[in-house]
């Protein structure tokens, strides 16, 4: 059942429908929309302006703000940022932006699992479906926001690197901006050793040494190494250990597909005939990180617990 269906009429350029008390989402009511307001009066509050402009309740607007779908562009800075504080008093000529997508806002994030808390940064296991970063439509389904709200003692959270939404495994979160910059530099300078476990279709060749893959990705140099760990003849699946020296978008998936071994569960690059619902999620997990900590100059090595490793 869908309750409280709201219709927006001019001054918007088109009629917009939205629902904010949904047990199930009806496609025809779930189309995203955005609203942009310029503050014209002093002592204006974001929650009041948005409630008046949309007809949504103030309580609902507050929830939307907490989920990161409201942005404030202050005249004095000209830079938009997420606005979560409903009581924020706005200035004349400030601009308020609401990006409303019912499907995004009603999504419930799968919690990550902490692997290690180092104080200035922490290491987490990111589950499938949890995002590394948000969009203008919200950020409550990101690991960054989840950590910010749930890690104790509570600290700011900054993304150091990213994992594909469909991928799982180790991801690093910094708790100070300067720490985030220092750790991100390790990735950029290829001083972070990254290992993955991947299950692919087909029988990967056995070898004492990893197979080197150097096919360019989007016109940029990329290098990966893959080695067979185990082969399941019945399923015709191979479990690989993969190490990457570069961090191109979807590098592992593209490189393995390019040599004839698509990743199991890859709905983006896998062959259509090989990907179906029975195969489940993308079988790619970031299994270990090793680096020299820029804070202590000590060698650090973090690895997924055995229970979270991929298995044939």
| End-of-domain residue from the set 52, 81, 106 | 106
Could you tell me if 198 and 282 lie in one domain? yes
Could you tell me if 63 and 147 lie in one domain? no
Could you tell me if 200 and 287 lie in one domain? yes
| End-of-domain residue from the set 172, 188, 204 | 188
Q: What is the domain extent for residue 243? A: 193-308
Could you tell me if 202 and 266 lie in one domain? yes
Q: CA–CA separation, 253 vs 198, rounded Å?
A: 9
CA 83 to chain centre: 20
Instruction: Map residue 24 onto helix, strand or coil.
Output: coil
- Whether residue 153 is preceded by a cis peptide bond, meaning omega within 30 degrees of 0, is yes
Q: Report the CATH number that the domain containing residue 175 is assigned in CATH.
A: 3.30.70.580
Using only C-alpha atoms, what is the Rg of the chain? 23
Q: For residue 40, give Cα distances in angstroms to 91, 234, 245.
A: 8, 69, 53
Could you tell me if 198 and 133 lie in one domain? no
Could you tell me if 184 and 197 lie in one domain? no
Instruction: Map residue 205 onto helix, strand or coil.
Output: coil
What per-residue confidence (pLDDT) applies to 126?
97
Could you tell me if 225 and 207 lie in one domain? yes
Q: For residue 240, give Cα distances in angstroms to 35, 183, 285.
A: 48, 27, 11
Counted domains in the chain: 3
Q: Report the CATH number that the domain containing residue 70 is assigned in CATH.
A: 3.10.290.10
What per-residue confidence (pLDDT) applies to 14?
28
0.85 exceeded by pTM: no
Compute mean pLDDT per 10 residues along the chain, 312 residues long, and list them.
30 29 33 89 92 91 96 91 93 95 92 97 97 94 96 96 94 97 95 96 94 94 96 96 92 96 90 53 96 96 96 94
Question: End-to-end distance of the chain based on CA atoms, in angstroms?
Answer: 42
| End-of-domain residue from the set 88, 106, 124 | 106
Structure tokens that stand for 92 in this block: 């004349």
């Amino acid at each position: 059942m869908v309750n409280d269906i709201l219709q927006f009429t001019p001054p918007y350029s088109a009629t917009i429908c939205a629902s904010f008390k949904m047990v199930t989402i009806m496609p025809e009511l779930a189309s995203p929309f955005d609203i942009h307001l310029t503050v014209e009066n002093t002592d204006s509050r974001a929650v009041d302006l948005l409630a008046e402009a949309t007809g949504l309740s103030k309580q609902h607007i507050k929830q939307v703000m907490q989920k990161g779908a409201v942005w404030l562009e202050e005249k004095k800075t000209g830079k938009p940022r997420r606005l979560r504080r409903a009581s924020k008093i706005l200035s004349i000529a400030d601009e308020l932006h609401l990006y409303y997508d019912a499907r995004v806002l009603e999504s419930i994030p799968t919690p990550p699992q902490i692997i290690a808390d180092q104080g200035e940064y922490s290491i987490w296991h990111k589950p499938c479906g949890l995002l590394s970063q948000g969009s203008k439509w919200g950020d409550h389904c990101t690991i960054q926001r989840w950590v910010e709200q749930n890690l104790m003692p509570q600290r700011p959270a900054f993304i150091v690197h990213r994992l594909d939404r469909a991928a799982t495994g180790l991801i690093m979160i910094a708790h100070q901006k300067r720490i985030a910059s220092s750790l991100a530099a390790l990735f950029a300078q290829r001083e972070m050793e990254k290992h993955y476990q991947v299950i692919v279709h087909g029988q990967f060749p056995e070898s004492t040494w990893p197979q080197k893959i150097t096919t360019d990705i989007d016109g940029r140099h990329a290098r990966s190494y893959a080695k067979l760990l185990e082969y399941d003849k019945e399923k015709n699946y191979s479990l690989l250990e993969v190490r990457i020296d570069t961090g191109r978008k979807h590098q592992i998936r593209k490189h393995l597909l390019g040599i004839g071994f698509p990743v199991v569960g890859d709905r983006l690059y896998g062959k259509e005939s090989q990907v179906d619902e029975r195969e489940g999620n993308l079988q790619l997990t970031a299994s270990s990180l090793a680096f020299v900590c820029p804070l202590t100059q000590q060698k650090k090595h973090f690895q997924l617990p055995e229970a979270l490793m991929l298995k044939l």
